[in-house]
Amino acid sequence: MKPPFPSPATRPARLRRALPAATLALGLLAAAPLSAREAPPAPESAALELPAFKVQAETLRDDRVQTPFLPDTRGTSIFAGKKTLVIDFDAMPQIQTDNYRQAFAKTPGLLTSELSNASLLSLSFRGIGDPHESQNLLVLKDGIPFVLDPFGYPTVYYAPPFESVDRLEFVAGGAALLYGPQPSGALNYVTHEPSRRHAASSTSQHVFGSNSLYSTFTTLEGGLNGGAYLGFFDHRSGDSFRDANSDFKLNGANLKLVLDTGPTARLVLDLDAYDADSGEPGGLTRATGPGRLNIGQSRAQSQNLYDRVRVERTAAVLRYDRDYADDARLSATVWASRSSRYSKRQNGSGFGLVPTGTTNTINLHEYYTYAADFRYRMDYGSGNHANTFTAGTTWMNLDSPIETSTGATPAADTGARTFKAERSSRYGSFFAENIFRSGRLTVTPGVRIEILRQGIAEAQNNAKSAAGTPLGEKRDTATQPLFALAATLTAGPKGEFYANFSQGYKPMTYSDAVPTGANDTISSDLKPGHVLNYELGRRGRPAPGVWYDVSLFAVDYYDRFGRVGRNIQNVGRSINYGVSAATEVDLWRLHAGVEGASLTWHGNIQLLRAEFVSGPLAGRTPQYAPGLMIRSGLVFRQPGRAKIALLGTYLSEHFADDANTRTPAADWLIPAYVVFDLTAEFYPWRGEVAGRSAGIALLAGINNLLDEKYYSRVRANGIDPAAPRNFYAGLRLEF
């Protein structure tokens, strides 16, 4: 029986009703008398035409691959001169269980730290910080961040299921002026638009696999008079290959409603509900001896038999978009969300050691967010001097209370409270960018002003009280200007040079502002971390079915946070620099000379040199900064019929901590590894049912095809081994 999460007294009734309510809404939409708004199939372009309003996404059943780079402008955003990449899921078989190793097959530099089971998202870019919970990368859904607290606790425990996503849009470095100041950039999940071709249509997918995997994803969508709807229910459950406490289960539901408010305007309401419960089997070690879980003896051992993490989330987003003729666009969004993160962990653990504690530590974080975002874009001038201006503002109000308790047993779900604090962030920003065009040259300066007020006040801290240390309280307001400059130079009809410079910064988190340990201290002159990003490259599409992107980059990260003894302070500066290159060639199209079926080869590489150049870690390599990352693959695609992909990933050895620790008891070196995946999607039947298109798709795959024994994640409790060879198979019904 599932333990309470958290206790009923702390779990709002609205959250418990969220999933049933979403399911009821889908049923009501299906049963309501609908007047179908028939529309022809979308044209072969990057935008789906709905009346006279341009929507920058595709419907669930559209199967076309978009260009690999973002255009100079899209919607209210400017991308000219920035390092961008579009990861279009239509280009490959549907990815199962949110396998980010496969999702980033064409993306140099993006690293995923793989967990034994699916409990959180861990990504990093170019060796900029710990990938754990993606703390240095801003992640967004349709332009709206879904991190728990973007500044005080910038972690990710939820992500939209890949089945609901049309594409991922990645912007490196220069994302500071688009969405926020995060050092690594931004990863935006662009979700499917509802189809208006019928009053109601549906898909239902069911996948089974190794380690008791069961995944189902069901949708219902259709067109109404003056609008459309799309709803889905997502469920995944299973175990990992670990011996115990590696099970996971999640349920998610979403409802997107679109209402046309005129020929060039619309309202979009997006409702999310999510619930996940995952075991944490813990870590292993290379050492041997009593109580040590040696990875060489068995990779399947479980260190922790009772540790769990549970996440709940509800969110509502309301967006108004309007086009003004052909030269202006407005987007205004308001949203609210509530997230809850509960964890329990046995005390007395260590690096790959069997826990010895007879109690556990229970943490409950809650996050309440209310926010608004307004953006406006205007084109002006003509001919070679057609310029584009965009500006906007974002405001967020976050309250993040936290409690810690001690359970009387290793498996306790509740206990005696030992810590309580109120945390809050009040955030505002203003940004503006302008593309100046002159012939083949574009220059885009930009500025962003960040205003952040953070506060934390301890109401209870038994450790400090026992030591006679006063409870912590701090409130701080900071204003941070950020600047960027980007440029492009057209080099022939099918390529361009690009260059950009941008600033980013990382404010202190709540735990940096007020350490919870009784003997912890904080430097009086602690400053935010600052990042300078530089990029110079060339990209293009020299022939149909061929593209490339090659660049030199450098990341100067100074005033980094860290600990020296018990003191939190700025510990130094690191410089990461290297080469990034990616290409794709459609071998079939080059041979046949016509578009249709394709056999594409893609390859990308990142050469990275990263080093601390000052501070106590000088001369050492930042964590998760492999010197060499290579990805390559072959993908056969016959639109609407079949897709087969063979993908490979190689990472050279790298450290999982900044101190580059290598001791017999705790070895933080991640050895080099190479992993191959083989996946397929095939339609044995396509036809019509009740006057609408229908089909049956078969899905299958082998992850870690050659059964590589590797790991890509090391934490304080030990080595987290990656999954051995595993299988899945299933089907999808469309009607």
pLDDT tens, position by position, 682-692: 999 999 888 88
Q: CA dist 308 to 92, 246, 411, 699, Å?
A: 34, 9, 9, 31
Domain boundaries, the chain: 8-35+48-734
d(CA 280, CA 391): 44
pLDDT one-digit tens code per residue, 322-355: 998 778 999 999 999 999 999 999 999 999 999 9
Least confident of 113-122, 153-162, 689-698: 113-122
Between these two residues, 37 and 528, which has the higher pLDDT value? Answer: 528
What band does 42 get if pLDDT is binned at 50, 70 and 90? very low
Token code pair at residue 609: 């040199």
Contact 444, 433 (CB under 8 A): yes
Within 13 Å, how many C-alpha atoms sit on residue 140's CB side? 20
- Position 5 scores a pLDDT of 42
How many Cβ atoms from other residues are within 10 Å of residue 547's Cβ? 21
Of 180, 118, 117, 115, nearest in space to 154 by CA: 180
Cα dihedral value 704, 707, 710, 711, nearest 10: 40
d(CA 624, CA 610): 10
pTM of the model: 0.90
Checking if the pLDDT of 10 tops 50, the result is no
pLDDT one-digit tens code per residue, 581-624: 999 999 988 766 566 789 999 999 999 999 999 988 899 999 99
Between these two residues, 92 and 183, which has the higher pLDDT value? Answer: 92
Checking if the pLDDT of 97 tops 50, the result is yes
What band does 523 get if pLDDT is binned at 50, 70 and 90? confident
Token code pair at residue 34: 């609908």
* Backbone angles phi and psi of 512, in degrees to 5: -75, -40
Checking if the pLDDT of 19 tops 50, the result is no
Q: CA dist 245 to 241, 280, 301, 350, 723, Å?
A: 10, 6, 10, 18, 15
pLDDT one-digit tens code per residue, 58-90: 888 888 888 899 999 999 999 999 999 999 999
Q: CB-based burial of residue 116 (10 Å sphere; 0-12 exposed, 13-18 middle, 19+ buried)?
A: buried
Checking if the pLDDT of 704 tops 90, the result is yes
| % of residues, the chain, pLDDT over 70 | 90
Q: CA dist 295 to 283, 288, 352, Å?
A: 9, 9, 9
Between these two residues, 142 and 132, which has the higher pLDDT value? Answer: 142
d(CA 170, CA 167): 10
d(CA 269, CA 320): 9
Bridge partner residues of 404 (DSSP): 363, 419
What band does 13 get if pLDDT is binned at 50, 70 and 90? very low
* β strands within 347-440, DSSP E: 360-380, 387-399, 402-407, 416-438
Q: What's the whole-number mean pLDDT along residues 551-561? A: 91
Least confident of 133-142, 158-167, 709-718: 133-142
CATH architecture of the domain formed by 8-35+48-734:
Beta Barrel (2.40)
pLDDT one-digit tens code per residue, 616-653: 889 999 999 999 999 999 999 998 899 999 999 999 99
d(CA 455, CA 476): 6
Checking if the pLDDT of 497 tops 60, the result is yes
- Position 565 scores a pLDDT of 67
What band does 564 get if pLDDT is binned at 50, 70 and 90? low
How many Cβ atoms from other residues are within 10 Å of residue 13's Cβ? 8
- Position 176 scores a pLDDT of 64
Token code pair at residue 211: 């380690």
- Position 327 scores a pLDDT of 85
Checking if the pLDDT of 411 tops 80, the result is yes
d(CA 688, CA 125): 45
- For tokens 């967990």, what's the residue? 115
Within 13 Å, how many C-alpha atoms sit on residue 522's CB side? 19
- H/E segment holding residue 253: strand 248-262
Furthest-apart CA atoms within the chain: distance in Å: 79
d(CA 362, CA 255): 33
Amino acid letter for position 189: Y
Q: What's the whole-number mean pLDDT along residues 218-224? A: 95
Q: 3-class SS at 367?
A: strand
Least confident of 87-91, 249-253, 393-397, 514-518: 514-518
- Position 592 scores a pLDDT of 66
pLDDT one-digit tens code per residue, 192-212: 999 999 999 999 999 999 999
When the pLDDT of each residue in the chain is averaged and rounded to a whole number, the result is 88
d(CA 418, CA 239): 33
What band does 27 get if pLDDT is binned at 50, 70 and 90? very low
- Position 362 scores a pLDDT of 98
- Position 49 scores a pLDDT of 37
Of 346, 319, 343, 314, nearest in space to 330 by CA: 319
Q: Work out the angle at residue 616's Cα, subtended by the Cα atoms of residues 114 and 672, and round it to the nearest 5 degrees.
A: 30
Contact 387, 381 (CB under 8 A): yes
Cα-trace Rg, the chain: 25
Checking if the pLDDT of 438 tops 60, the result is yes
Cα dihedral value 539, 540, 542, 543, nearest 10: 130
- Position 715 scores a pLDDT of 93
d(CA 541, CA 583): 10
Checking if the pLDDT of 41 tops 50, the result is no
Checking if the pLDDT of 15 tops 50, the result is no
Helical spans, DSSP H, in 36-97? none
Of 672, 722, 611, 708, nearest in space to 113 by CA: 722
Bridge partner residues of 561 (DSSP): 570
pLDDT one-digit tens code per residue, 268-300: 999 999 999 999 999 999 999 999 999 999 999
Q: Work out the angle at residue 685's Cα, subtended by the Cα atoms of residues 679 and 688, and round it to the nearest 5 degrees.
A: 130
Cα dihedral value 188, 189, 194, 195, nearest 10: 100
- For tokens 């205004």, what's the residue? 332
Token code pair at residue 672: 């080099």
d(CA 103, CA 95): 7
